[in-house]
Amino acid sequence: MKSERPAGRGGIGGWVFLVVVLVIYAVTALVDYELVLSAVGVFTQVLDKVLPALALVFVLFFAVDLLLDPKRVEKYLGRRSGILGWLAAIVAGILSTGPVYAWYAVLHELRQKGMRTSLVAAMLYSRAVKLPLLPLLVYYFGLGYTMVLAFYLIGFSIIGGLLMERIGGMHALPD
Amino acid sequence: MLEQRLKQSARKTLRTFITILPIFVGMLLLTSLAVTLLPEQISAGLFGRHDLIDVLLGASAGSVAAGHPVASYILGGELLAEGVSLLAVTALIVSWVTVGVVQLPAEALLLGRRFAICRNLMCFLFAIMIPFLTVYTLQLME
């Protein structure tokens, strides 16, 4: 599970990354100016096509943040949650945003309170289905691919959860 | 109350936007340069020898890569356009968001070493299985 933020405080890492890329462009331009012009051409073409999908991504980010917070997640992932717990873990994983470190901390707290190992693993895995980013995935790979991939990711989040519980026990705490 | 919540969410979304924007633009610039510089080498060089090797390469690259999932979609999309197989691209995308070599120490610290290692190994295996299942399912649907 990857962090959703670049390294560095307050997302500075992303700007550093962009500056590094611009420096690479500048150095490449000194060697082969025509190549850089072609690359910029490719960039503007792709950006033009991706922008509408990106706009939708941010609308979804806003909606997810409005509807979900860690306290609400904690309420529905309790020890005796049963099938609803599985559902809540997977839905929470899909809807969760922000850096994964924050969720490690939340899940650490929930495990201390008795959250099942399987639900921890299922939630972490289902984070692979990035609801706000689905428009971008559809843009690049098509609706059919996106739906099939999301189906398998959700399915494997359940399989993974069950396997992790067999390996680590129902309420195994950090070693 | 609702107005305050809306403002709070809008601020957070704006912060997320500011965080993602440079990664998004940087990744698009980088992949544009890569596909211009190495259009055929990418598909004809590393990838394209055997399905399983392609998937292993994709899953390995995604496992050690760090960054926002947006970057994996852009990179995957451009690799696909350059002729890299959907199997390899799917392995890259899946492992990028499920396997976290870089985050392993933090995960081990907060959720347990055994849990973190087992989970990441399992996720790597899933990142090899899911591309085959996805591509074969898509072929069946055609």
Confidence at A2, pLDDT banded by 50, 70, 90: very low
Res A1 pLDDT > 50: no
Residue A31, C-beta contacts closer than 8 angstroms, at least 6 positions apart: none
Round to the nearest angstrom and report the end-to-end CA distance of chain B: 50
Of B18, B103, B118, the CB nearest to A164: B118
Confidence at A5, pLDDT banded by 50, 70, 90: very low
Report the pLDDT value the prediction gives residue A43, as an integer from 0 to 100. Answer: 86
Report the pLDDT value the prediction gives residue A10, as an integer from 0 to 100. Answer: 47
The answer, for A153 touching chain B at a CB cutoff of 8 Å, is: yes
**Distance (Å) from the C-alpha of residue B25 to the closest C-alpha of chain A?**
7
Diameter of chain A by CA atoms? Answer: 64
Of A21, A128, A136, the CB nearest to B73: A136
Q: Which residue bears the tokens 């999301």? A: A150
CA nearest neighbour of B134 among A124, A134, A141: A141
The answer, for A122 touching chain B at a CB cutoff of 8 Å, is: no
pLDDT tens for each residue of A17-62: 889 989 999 999 999 899 899 889 888 887 887 777 677 667 767 7
Of A18, A40, A120, the CB nearest to B22: A18
Residue to mutate among B14, B98, B113, B121, with most A CBs inside 10 A, is: B98
Confidence at A167, pLDDT banded by 50, 70, 90: confident
Report the pLDDT value the prediction gives residue A22, as an integer from 0 to 100. Answer: 94
Report the pLDDT value the prediction gives residue B49, as an integer from 0 to 100. Answer: 77
Retrieve residue A71's tokens: 């306290």
* pTM score, whole prediction: 0.72
The answer, for A119 touching chain B at a CB cutoff of 8 Å, is: no
Report the pLDDT value the prediction gives residue A30, as an integer from 0 to 100. Answer: 93
Q: What is the distance between the alpha carbons of residues B120 and B106, in angstroms, rounded to a whole number?
A: 13
Report the pLDDT value the prediction gives residue A153, as an integer from 0 to 100. Answer: 96
Residue A61, C-beta contacts closer than 8 angstroms, at least 6 positions apart: A97, A132, B13, B16, B17
Res A67 pLDDT > 80: no
User: Mean pLDDT across chain A, nearest whole number?
Assistant: 79
Report the pLDDT value the prediction gives residue A116, as an integer from 0 to 100. Answer: 82
pLDDT under 70: residue ranges of chain B: 38-45, 66-67
Specify whether the backbone of A3 is left (phi greater than 0), alpha (psi in -120 to 50) or beta: beta
Of B106, B113, B126, the CB nearest to A101: B106
Report the pLDDT value the prediction gives residue A9, as an integer from 0 to 100. Answer: 43
Res A162 pLDDT > 70: yes
HEC-encoded secondary structure of chain A: CCCCCCCCHHHHHHHHHHHHHHHHHHHHHHHCHHHHHHHHHHHHHHHHHHHHHHHHHHHHHHHHHHHCCHHHHHHHCCCCCHHHHHHHHHHHHHHCCCCHHHHHHHHHHHHHCCCCHHHHHHHHHHCCCCHHHHHHHHHHHCHHHHHHHHHHHHHHHHHHHHHHHHHHCCCCCCC
Within 10 Å of residue A79's Cβ, how many Cβ atoms? 13
**Distance (Å) from the C-alpha of residue B58 to the closest C-alpha of chain A?**
16
Res A74 pLDDT > 70: no
Cβ separation A148–B25 shorter than 8 A: no
Report the pLDDT value the prediction gives residue A8, as an integer from 0 to 100. Answer: 41
Confidence at A71, pLDDT banded by 50, 70, 90: low
Q: What is the distance between the alpha carbons of residues B65 and B91, in angstroms, rounded to a whole number?
A: 12
Could you tell me if the ipTM is greater than 0.90? no
pLDDT tens for each residue of A75-104: 666 666 778 889 988 988 888 776 666 677
Cβ separation B94–A128 shorter than 8 A: yes
- Least confidently predicted of A6-15, A112-121, B40-49, B52-61: A6-15
Searching chain A, which residue's CA lies closest to the CA of residue B62? A2
Report the pLDDT value the prediction gives residue B100, as an integer from 0 to 100. Answer: 81
User: Residues 34-93, chain A: which have Cβ within 8 Å of B?
Assistant: 35-36, 38-40, 42-43, 46-47, 50, 54, 58, 61-62, 65-66
- Least confidently predicted of A114-118, A148-152, A170-174, B114-118: A170-174
**Which chain B residues are Cβ-neighbours of A137 within 8 angstroms?**
73
Report the pLDDT value the prediction gives residue B14, as an integer from 0 to 100. Answer: 84
